[in-house]
Amino acid sequence: MRDVPAHIRRYARAMRRSMTPEERRIWHDFLSCSPYHFRRQYPIGGYIADFYSHCLRLVIEIDGGQHFEQDGCTYDMKRTAYMQAKRLRVLRFTNAQVRKDFLSVCEGIRRAIQDIAEVGVIRSADESGRML
């Protein structure tokens, strides 16, 4: 994390204290119970991943409405490309998915973790990383 700019580290720390309700739910009700260690609001280069597991090389993003505006989409594409270039796998879910179908989101994450742990392949994500 030494290569991460100080302002990004400070921002990530602040984001940990102000997670969205959807991020809190994923963290408290699912990821914190995982046998794999996950970090919240973890700096990767000049970006901050919502959740990151180093041993799985897995990034999980929970996207709010700003991610669907033009600037947000462009930024997310660049960020995903950067992380994939670092050989990280990126899963994306929307806040609405977490609110409306929490168990399916958890199942999608669980399947991805299982696939990575067993064979190193994510089962079903489209090119943007969104679970199908």
User: What is d(CA 21, CA 44) in angstroms, rounded to the nearest whole number?
Assistant: 23
Residues in contact with 128: Cβ distance below 8 Å, sequence separation at least 6, in sequence order: 76, 77, 80, 92
pLDDT for 80? 93
The tokens for 116 are 């990575």
Query: What's the CATH superfamily of 6-118?
Result: VSR Endonuclease (3.40.960.10)
CB burial class (10 A; 0-12, 13-18, 19+) of residue 28? exposed
Task: Please determine, for residue 102, whether its predicted confidence score (pLDDT) is greater than 80.
Answer: yes
What pTM did the predictor assign?
Answer: 0.81
Of the candidates 27, 30, 83, the residue with the CA atom closest to the CA atom of residue 57 = 83
Of the candidates 102, 108, 106, 101, the residue with the CA atom closest to the CA atom of residue 123 = 108
For 69-79, write each residue's pLDDT tens digit: 567 678 888 99
Q: Which residues face 54 on adjacent strands? A: none
The tokens for 107 are 């199942």
